Amino acid sequence: MRQTHLIMGMPVTVEIVAQDTGFVIDKVFDYFIYIDNKFSVYKKDSEVMQINRGEILVENSSLDMQEIFGLADQTKQETDGYFDIVNQFGIYDPSGIVKGWAIYEASKIIEQAGFDNYYVDAGGDIQVCGKNSEGKQWKIGIKNPFNQEEIVKTVYLDNGGIATSGTYIRGQHIYNPRDKSEQITEIVSLSVIGPNVYEADRFATAAFAMGKAGIHLIERIKGLEGYIIDSAGIATMTSGFEKYINN
């Protein structure tokens, strides 16, 4: 069964290769709605916006919120400050870590229900497990940032996650925390494959903030592979990325 709903301002798709999975898919979509209501910086009543207004202290916030703040701080340290949930306007915006984390947590709901062949996609960041309905690896396309109708690379996964950071859809929404006035123009897309979508997403965000040097960060981290496209349309991949191309 496969369903797509618009949540958090983006399409969220859940596919489980089994019969009678509607109840689990409903739980997954309910979970994403919960996440949106808690972490959205576009909803004035969300918990993170209450923190931004000083109405709630982080130490008094929900366990989920405290976990995200802790994971964000860990990622900031692991990336030498290239990841920061304080945005260029000086407010907490955890979207650079929440989406991948939420997708990964949603996948656990599916596994806890006893299913091990599934696909969860939120805005192009994806967690997969097992095989698709044809009994094959999940086939995932990386879009051409200059022509989104075109797929420039196809990767095959059976257990893991992929996340893409870029400016080709939402413009300059990613910034360099170490120089908040700098616009990132030398690259347009960076896709990262990891053991799960949470790891892929957080490091994709930090690596994109580094510009062209970000691919070297991905190369150094065990378990991650990356594919970067620069503003001239030239692609560079990490040394182990090809293993995901050959099916």
Look up residue 13 and give its amino acid.
Answer: T
| Buried-state track 74-87, b at ≥16 Cβ within 10 A, e below 16 | ebbeebeebbbbeb
2-244 folds as T-fold (3.10.520)
pTM, 2 dp:
0.94
Instruction: Write out pLDDT tens, residues 86-138.
Output: 998 899 999 999 999 999 999 999 999 999 999 999 999 999 999 999 999 99
Which pLDDT does position 112 carry in this prediction? 97
Contact 219, 226 (CB under 8 A): yes
What pLDDT is recorded for position 100? 97
pLDDT per position as a tens digit, 3-50:
999 998 999 999 999 999 999 999 999 999 999 999 999 999 999 999
Number of separate helices (H) and strands (E) present in the chain? 6, 10
Q: What is the mean pLDDT of residues 39-68?
A: 98
Kindly state the DSSP code that residue 243 receives in the 8-state scheme.
G
User: Rounded to an integer, what distance in angstroms lies between the CA atom of residue 179 and that of residue 181?
Assistant: 6
Query: What integer pLDDT is reported at residue 6 of this predicted model?
Result: 96
Per domain, the residue ranges of the chain are 2-244
Report the 10 Å Cβ neighbour count for 130. Answer: 16
Cβ contact 190:214 at 8 Å: yes
Look up residue 30 and give its amino acid.
Answer: D
Q: What is the pLDDT of residue 246?
A: 74
Report the sign of the C-alpha dihedral through residues 53, 57, 58, 62, in that order.
Answer: negative
98 close to 31: Cβ distance less than 8 angstroms: no
pLDDT digits (tens, 9 = 90+) for 153-210: 999 999 999 999 986 555 445 667 877 667 788 999 999 999 999 999 999 999 999 9
106: tokens are: 């949603």
Q: How many residues in total does the chain contain? A: 247
